[in-house]
Amino acid sequence: MNEDGTMARLRDLITVAEKHGLKICAIKDLIQYRMRTERLVRRGAETRLPSSFGGDFRLIVYESEVNELHHVALVKGKVAPDEPILVRVHAACLTGDVFGSVRCNCGSLLERAMRTVEEAGNGVILYMREKDRSVGMLDKIKQHALRDQAYCTVEANLELGLKPDLRDYGIGAQMLADLGVRKMRLMTNNPTRIVGLEGYGLKVVEQVPIALEPHCTNLRC
């Protein structure tokens, strides 16, 4: 507690720790530690998914031990730990994936990734319900409104006080490890977002861009 009786926040606790020579860690540090040392996902169900985007996939639903969210792995072909495999980690986007919004290219990226895996004959696509950048539906619609005022996506996020989109794969990394993935040909157009993979025994051996024709609505994004 602070001297005035209010709850001490991290900044207050750091001051106390420095004064008394104490060690301190944040809740986010504990979460990162658990991600690396504990199994926080489990397979919940599996079925065959015949898709118009890329033929047949194995669809595996993963249940998280830390919240009620379910995530999906789409797997095609053989996953061999010693062989690089195409991987796409896709953050769920309701407006783009479901409603076909062209303000973002999320839906097109997902479809192109599935077709690329089909062409390669094997690969893994993770569909993650939880975005590490914490853009929920409310913030996403506010973001779209700012886009109407000529903001690009990055500028809109900064205006809303959202953190940069640097993704620690976390739960997704545990899903990949469970599937036997070790070496990845990572399908991404944003290589600067890749952080924290080494701690999960994963290695990116190649970054594979996803080529899309830009829409006039999102040329600046």
Task: Supply the residues annotated as catalytic.
Answer: 165, 167
| 3-state SS class at 77 | coil
Spatial distance between the Cα atoms of 159 and 168, rounded to a whole number of angstroms: 23
Q: Residue 1, class by beta-carbon neighbours within 10 Å (0-12 exposed, 13-18 middle, 19+ buried)?
A: exposed
Which spans in 57-198 are helix H? 106-120, 137-147, 153-159, 171-179
Please report where in the chains the tokens 């991600």 appear, as a residue. Answer: 35
Strands 123-128 and 85-91: parallel
DSSP summary character for residue 98: I
| 3-state SS class at 181 | coil
Spatial distance between the Cα atoms of 178 and 73, rounded to a whole number of angstroms: 11
Q: Residue 76, class by beta-carbon neighbours within 10 Å (0-12 exposed, 13-18 middle, 19+ buried)?
A: buried
Contact (Cβ atoms closer than 8 angstroms) between residue 148 and residue 97: no
